[in-house]
Amino acid sequence: MPPAGAGAAAGAGFAGGVAGPSGTPTSPQSPAGTAEFSAESIVIQALKGDTSALAEFISPKCKGVLGDIRDDKATEKQIDDLKKLFAGIKGVGSKSENGVKVLTLRNADNSTITFRVKKESEEFRVIEMTVKAGVAKKGR
C-alpha cells in the first residue's frame, strides 16, 4: 500500500499537505499555469490572510466566499473561516470532468473541499469550491 499522500493526489503541493506539520509553504508547489497551482495559490494566500492577489485565480462565474474575495467584498470573518477551513489541508485526488479539473482535498476536521478549476482564456481559474462536513472517525 502506498504511503499517505502518494498516488492520485491533487498535484505536487497538495500531495505533501499544503498546511501540514512543517508549516505553510510560502508559494505553490505545483507548476505555474496548472489547475493545481491556481487552487494552491488560493489556499496558501487565504491561510496567510492575504487575499488581495487572488482575483486572477477566481473565475467571474464563481460565487460564495471566493466570489466575494474576487470582488474585494470579503469580510474578516469570511477570511478567518477560510483559514480554519484550510487548516491541515491535503490532497486526496484529482480527476477531469468535461474539461474541468476537479481537485478533492481534506482538512484537519476531515471535511472534504472540492475545487472545480477550468481554463478560461489562458489561465486556470476556480469556478466553484464546495465543502462537505467531515464525519468523525469512530475508534476501533
Residue 111 grid cell: 471535511
Residue 134: what pLDDT? 77
How far from 64 is each of 37, 87, 101, CA to CA, in Å? Answer: 21, 19, 19
Read off the pLDDT of residues 48-102 as tens digits, 9 standing for 90 and up: 988 988 999 999 999 999 999 999 999 999 999 999 999 999 988 999 999 999 9
pLDDT for residue 36 is more than 50 = yes
* pLDDT at residue 2, rounded to an integer: 35
* Nearest residue to 71 via CA among 83, 84, 59, 82: 59
Neighbours of 81 (CB within 10 A): 14
Mean pLDDT to the nearest integer, 117-136: 91
Q: What is the pLDDT of residue 28?
A: 87
Architecture of domain 11-18+30-132: Roll (3.10)
Percent over 70 (pLDDT), the chain: 79
Helix (H) or strand (E) holding 95: strand 90-97
Higher pLDDT residue, 117 or 6?
117
DSSP 63: -
Pairing mode, if any, of strands 100-106 and 123-132? unpaired
SS3 102: strand
Joined grid coordinates for residue 64: 460564495
Output 25 or 111, whichever has higher pLDDT.
111
Per-residue pLDDT band for 135 (boundaries 50, 70, 90) equals confident
Helix 76-86 crosses helix 35-48 at what angle (to 10 degrees)?
120
- Is the predicted pLDDT of residue 18 greater than 70, yes or no? no
